[in-house]
A and B are shown apart, each in its own frame.
Chain A
Amino acid sequence: MTAGGQAPAGRASAVEVPLAGPGLPAGRGTRLALTALRGSRRFGGPVAAVAVGIALVLLLQGNGFASTLVLDMLVYAIAAMSLDFLGGYAGLISLGQAGFLGVGAYGVAIAEVHFFSPWAAVGIGLGATLALGLALGVVAVRVRGVSFVIITLAMGQVLWGLAFQWVGLSEGDNGIPLTILPSIGPFDLNDPLTLRMTVLVVFAVVALLLVAFVHSPFGLSLRGVRSNETRMAVLGYRTGLHCYLAWVIAVFFTGVAGVLYLFVNQLISPATMAFSQDGLLVIMVVLGGLRSIWGPALGAVVIVLFQQELSIYLDRWQTVMGLTLIAVVLFSPGGLWGLVRAAGRRRDALIARLEARPGKRGGR
């Protein structure tokens, strides 16, 4: 910690200021800083959440580019958060998640092509994802670690291959457009504003559910499996079952993201399920921060922003993204959210230090 009192910009130096600062009674400055720090510890999270929520609502009110961008971010955030639930907590990183996003979307689109009502189509899309998750999970959770990555990659590619080549079902490379969105009474998803708010609500619900899961005994058990699976078995856990449930939950929520993706973009094509998209989802999670539900949401924001906005100004954005991922893996395994957490820990340590020494600071 710098002891100099020149730049009271950061929290750290703000506290050290009274040391060197003339005129200001040391005790009072410390107390002020302590109050501010404690306040940020208690209210920082909720205040930030409310602020982000308000910002999202405001952005989604507009009709412009910003609202489309925010919608994409929310959709991918759902997928990235569910992937992190599986990959970060249970340690099962799936490189086939874009495939399941596609299954949700294609399920709805294909059902509508076959004259199902929009609501029935949504049911079919989600049902198909769930059924596929239940079936493929039996194979996938037989292995761990690198093998799991490779197997999910293979699964994602099978799904992509079907979307690309099974023209009779999927209309091939062109994809399937969606014409009518579900509506019931005054609640009409064809109305852009209703759709946007619905996406926001679904995002919030999924996020809160995942946060609850993570803090439940089940979530703790996933961390235990990742940490030491043999030990878990001896403690009475049927670890395969826990991995399977985590997989099904992650796949299902990714399917939910797929349905919303279709609603937002009104078109699903194989490009959404390509290998590069599988990789992008993993990058969102790792960049944002494994083992934190909000980190991957942050990662989704950054990557979608990169992809859709910065790519206009920066031709080589993929190079930047790839190098960023490598840098994160090398230097900051906690990702962006890890940096936020580290700042929080530093604050807590600071509070502890300030509390330890009372206002008077005499002999020096």
Chain B
Amino acid sequence: MTAGPARPAELPALEADHLCRRFRGVTAVADLSLRVAAGARFGIIGPNGAGKTTLFNLLSGELRPTTGSVALFGRDITALRPYRRAALGLGRTFQITRIFSDLTVLENLTLALHGLSRSKLSLLRPWRSYRAKMAEAADLAASFGLAQRLAAPASDLSHGEVRELEVLLALALKPRVLLLLDEPAAGLSPAERVDIQALLTSLPAELTLVMIEHDIDVLRGVVDSAAVLHLGSLVVQGSMRDIQNDDRVRELYLGGAGAHAPAIPPPGDPRPPAASTPEAGAPPEASPPPEAGTPPEAGTPPGRAGAGDQS
């Protein structure tokens, strides 16, 4: 396997080694190996049901692999729970947005800022008296146009603002590797899309970005290398140029798809047409919090029995 970007990297930021995950006999991810170099902008692409969400959850620690291992900057994190991975610099967002909807924006950000500091167990000092963290929260909010919304309950935010807050929460931990699940720009107005794009491009160069997407067009211009998944296995890994010229990928994806058309299920894909909804996250806990500003595509349509990743 060739590492995606051309950067000379001592240790890969994120490495999956022969990952395998089965659900009750169904193999969602099969013997998958990946190397993401430090500082890369890496995409993981694949049609619905390709195993992207499962892979994502294996990387973030929501799921344990059946076999195989995950390493972060050379350190084996396969057995570590999500909060330990976060402490080591692995950040993530959620497909079904997970913010603290009954807290204000400021409280959301404050929680994130205390997450990796010992002060999170502090009992007597009011959280509002942490000057540096308050300033940091205000800066974060300002970087995304949420400065006026600090006091607003997160449940009052618009869909786009919720998406922005979601990314901000992940960034507040100053991760070294950030996993972004399924188009952070999905469902946003064009203006909000520009905001997100601007933020993604303004992220520090040393931050490794792994974006998981089902629509290959979204990744164009954002990532420099990518891996393509199909039915739980790696189809190809390389630079975006290579991937767009790859015949197998064409067959999977590009057969007549317009600029913003949803991914076309490959022939032989057993799922019904309803499967064009993005797969919901890993098994049961993925049910959308009713109070959250649930993105429209996250609603589970009836009859999605076979849709999405096997869970």
Q: How far is the CA of A126 from the CA of B62 in the complex (A)?
A: 40
Tell whether, in the assembled complex, residue A237 and residue B120 are in contact, meaning their CB atoms are under 8 Å apart: yes
Q: What are the residues of chain A within 8 A of B100 when measuring CB–CB?
A: 223-224, 227-228, 231
Per-position 1/0 for A192-222, Cβ under 8 A of B: 0000000000000000000011011111110
Is A129 in contact with chain B by the CB < 8 A criterion?
Answer: no
Is A113 in contact with chain B by the CB < 8 A criterion?
Answer: no
Is B26 in contact with chain A by the CB < 8 A criterion?
Answer: no
Is A239 in contact with chain B by the CB < 8 A criterion?
Answer: yes
Is A183 in contact with chain B by the CB < 8 A criterion?
Answer: no
Which A203-259 residues have a C-beta within 8 angstroms of B?
212-213, 215-221, 223-224, 227-228, 230-239, 242, 245
Is B285 in contact with chain A by the CB < 8 A criterion?
Answer: yes
CB distance from B182 to the nearest CB of A (A): 16
Mark the stretch among B44-52, B64-72, B79-87, B198-206 that contacts chain A: B79-87
B98 touches which of A213, A219, A223, A230 (Cβ 8 Å)? A230
Q: What are the residues of chain A within 8 A of B91 when measuring CB–CB?
A: 234
CB distance from B92 to the nearest CB of A (A): 6
CB distance from A220 to the nearest CB of B (A): 5
Q: How far is the CA of A237 from the CA of B83 in the complex (A)?
A: 6
Tell whether, in the assembled complex, residue B127 and residue A217 are in contact, meaning their CB atoms are under 8 Å apart: yes
B111 touches which of A215, A221, A245 (Cβ 8 Å)? A221
Q: How far is the CA of A268 from the CA of B156 in the complex (A)?
A: 49
Tell whether, in the assembled complex, residue B127 and residue A216 are in contact, meaning their CB atoms are under 8 Å apart: yes
Is B298 in contact with chain A by the CB < 8 A criterion?
Answer: no
Tell whether, in the assembled complex, residue A238 and residue B83 are in contact, meaning their CB atoms are under 8 Å apart: yes
Q: What are the residues of chain A within 8 A of B60 when measuring CB–CB?
A: 234
Known: A212-B126, A223-B103, A231-B98. A217 touches B119 (CB 8 A): yes
Tell whether, in the assembled complex, residue B82 and residue A215 are in contact, meaning their CB atoms are under 8 Å apart: no
Tell whether, in the assembled complex, residue B114 and residue A221 are in contact, meaning their CB atoms are under 8 Å apart: yes
Q: How far is the CA of A235 from the CA of B111 in the complex (A)?
A: 8
Q: How far is the CA of A344 from the CA of B4 in the complex (A)?
A: 58
Tell whether, in the assembled complex, residue A220 and residue B285 are in contact, meaning their CB atoms are under 8 Å apart: no
Known: A216-B127, A220-B114, A224-B111. A239 touches B99 (CB 8 A): no
CB distance from A126 to the nearest CB of B (A): 19
Q: What are the residues of chain A within 8 A of B107 when measuring CB–CB?
A: 220, 223
Q: How far is the CA of A237 from the CA of B110 in the complex (A)?
A: 13
Tell whether, in the assembled complex, residue A235 and residue B123 are in contact, meaning their CB atoms are under 8 Å apart: no
B130 touches which of A217, A223, A237, A245 (Cβ 8 Å)? A217
Known: A215-B128, A220-B114. A231 touches B120 (CB 8 A): no
Residues of B participating in the A interface, judged by any CB pair closer than 8 Å:
60, 62, 81-83, 86-87, 91-92, 94, 98-103, 107, 110-112, 114-116, 119-128, 130, 169-170, 172-173, 285, 289
The 10 closest A-B pairs by CB, nearest first: A236-B115, A235-B115, A227-B100, A236-B86, A231-B98, A215-B126, A236-B116, A217-B127, A233-B82, A233-B83
A-B contact pairs, 13 of them (CB 8 A): A213-B124, A216-B124, A218-B122, A220-B114, A227-B101, A227-B103, A230-B94, A230-B98, A234-B82, A234-B86, A235-B115, A235-B169, A236-B83
Residues of A participating in the B interface, judged by any CB pair closer than 8 Å:
212-213, 215-221, 223-224, 227-228, 230-239, 242, 245
